[in-house]
Amino acid sequence: MELAAPGSSEGFLAVVYIFYIAILVFILAGLWKTFAKTGQRGWTAIIPILNSVVLLKIVKRPLWWIILFFIPCVGFVVWIIVLNELSKAFGKRVGFTVGLFLLGFVFFPILGFGDAEYELEKDPLF
């Protein structure tokens, strides 16, 4: 019985990590552009809790909803509601919400770099 060549799994893991980082950068770029389209500062998309606060402002939900994100099952439902409101704010339908939820790495860049326009009144709070 012959074992795998030394170093072969490390090379594979390096490729996986590079691919993973590329996807994260792509998602963050799409989220940055989406925030910018709504009149918010794009850099807020890369700061973990602040991006949720800004996202709640974009979809016109109260700030206290941030607490709901941290409750295990409730946070899942709240995330779906927020994504649905985000889709509606850009004139998209429920299918786009499903896309944001399941394939966010594709749909956030579509929202940010596409021609969809924010339809709610802009809130220059951030």
pLDDT at 126: 45
Q: CA-to-CA distance for 27 and 30, rounded, in angstroms?
A: 5
Q: Give per-residue burial for 99-108: e unless 16+ CB within 10 Å, then b.
A: bbeeebeebb
pLDDT computed for residue 9 by the predictor: 79
Q: How many domains, the chain?
A: 1
Domain of 21, in residue numbers: 9-113
Q: What is the pLDDT of residues 71-99, one digit of tens each?
A: 999 999 999 999 999 999 999 999 999 99
Output the pLDDT for position 4. 53
Residue 73 lies in a domain: yes
DSSP summary character for residue 45? G
Residue 94 domain-assigned (yes or no): yes
Q: Which helix (H) or strand (E) holds 66?
A: helix 65-68
In this prediction, residue 119 has a pLDDT band, given cuts at 50, 70 and 90, of: confident
